[in-house]
């Protein structure tokens, strides 16, 4: 399945989820998807994005590692369904939105839990999602820089 479709599916699932365990599962799914996209962009993406894509992979992996790994049935892990990235800009714009929504969901969880350990776990994942989003924004900036430089190269 293409990346944008998986991201849209994750955004819808995150928005439709109510309870803390289900939200944490969707947060984990989103982080795993960001990790998979980072890996894919590092290998087949534009050369300007490869370093930031590797960073995204690492940060999103950290977000997954903080949370308990949910149990998934066959075909339920969205990151494993990724077959193509498609157009990098569109993919990154959608991923940035998803990571922002993940942060908002985690703030809601952190504000509602009584368990201090769960609170700090949420804070760590918020940090990972925020840093991942920063990487995505940097990749979008680099794509813009590349596109702006192309007409100059062609004219020269």
Tell me the C-alpha to C-alpha distance, in Å, between residue 116 and each of 70, 109, 119, 122: 21, 12, 5, 10
Cβ–Cβ < 8 Å for 22, 105: no
Tens digit of each residue's pLDDT (9 = 90 or more) over 31-90 = 999 999 999 999 999 999 999 999 999 999 999 999 989 999 999 999 999 999 999 999
C-alpha of 43 from chain center? 17
pLDDT beyond 70 at 121: yes
Q: Is the pTM of this model over 0.85?
A: yes
**Cα separation, 95 vs 151, whole angstroms:** 28
Tens digit of each residue's pLDDT (9 = 90 or more) over 12-31 = 999 999 899 999 999 999 99
């Amino acid at each position: 399945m293409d990346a944008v479709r998986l991201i849209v599916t994750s955004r819808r699932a995150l928005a439709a989820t109510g309870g803390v365990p289900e939200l944490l599962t969707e947060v984990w799914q989103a982080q795993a998807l960001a990790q998979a996209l980072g890996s894919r962009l590092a290998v087949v993406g534009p050369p300007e994005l490869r370093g930031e894509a590797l960073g995204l992979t690492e940060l999103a992996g950290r977000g997954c590692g903080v949370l308990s790994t949910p149990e998934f049935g066959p075909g339920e892990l969205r990151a494993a369904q990724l077959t193509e990235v498609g157009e990098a800009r569109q993919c990154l714009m959608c991923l940035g939105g998803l990571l922002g929504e993940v942060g908002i969901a985690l703030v809601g969880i952190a504000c509602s839990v009584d368990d201090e350990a769960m609170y700090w776990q949420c804070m760590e994942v918020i940090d990972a999602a925020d840093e991942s989003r920063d990487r995505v924004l940097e990749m979008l900036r680099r794509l813009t820089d590349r596109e702006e430089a192309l007409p100059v190269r062609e004219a020269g």
